[in-house]
Amino acid sequence: MIYPIVKFGDPVLEKVAAPVTKFDDELKKLVEDMFESMYAARGVGLAAPQIGISKHLAVIDITFKEDPDARLVLANPKIIHTEGKQTGSEGCLSIPEFREEVTRANKVTIRAQDINGKWYEKTGEELLARAFLHETDHLNGKLYISHISALKRDLMKRKIRKLAKAGQW
């Protein structure tokens, strides 16, 4: 099932999500739907709050379907190590049509549970490191625009309010 993506302005995007506690068939179905919804929206990462489900759960595939082994399920992820810096253009499915330069760590290690509840650690660099940070932020109610200047953020919010008024958001 393809879920519609929740857009900026919906409070679900700005609250801390609840932990995943049950690793059952329902969760497996949800994860499948999240991958499907992410691909349909042409994204490489999706957090559960972005489909209106406030759970500490995200999916990532930075290869966009090319490598099945690149499909990652992050339940209850924690950032346990960061290193270096990268600056690059970042966007979010919940803030469509906007992109901004964001500086993030270049190498990031997460500790998370997989679809069966098994804990694992994984280190990513560059785009994967950025995805780990971006998606983990989502689960803590944080959007990438919290990492840009207040001036740019206000400008973006003003444009979004305009779009919303015109019924285009």
Interaction site with Ni ion (CB under 5 A)? 92
Q: Is 135 a catalytic residue?
A: yes
What would the two tokens of residue 94 be? 């919940």
For CA atoms 106, 10, 157, 92, the dihedral sign is: positive
Nearer to Ni ion, 73 or 92 (CB): 92
Nearer to Ni ion, 36 or 117 (CB): 36
* Residue closest to Ni ion (Cβ): 92
Q: How far is the CB of 10 from Ni ion (least distance, A)?
A: 13
Nearer to Ni ion, 23 or 41 (CB): 41
Q: What is d(CA 92, CA 98) in angstroms, rounded to the nearest whole number?
A: 8
Q: How far is the CB of 169 from Ni ion (least distance, A)?
A: 16
Nearer to Ni ion, 20 or 92 (CB): 92
Active-site pick, 100, 101, 126, 135: 135
Q: How far is the CB of 134 from Ni ion (least distance, A)?
A: 6
Cβ neighbourhood burial of 169 (10 Å; 0-12, 13-18, 19+): middle
Q: How far is the CB of 114 from Ni ion (least distance, A)?
A: 21
What would the two tokens of residue 105 be? 């760590």
104 Cβ contact list (under 8 Å, min separation 6): 85, 86, 87, 88, 90, 129, 130, 133, 134, 147
Instruction: Write out the catalytic residue numbers.
Output: 135
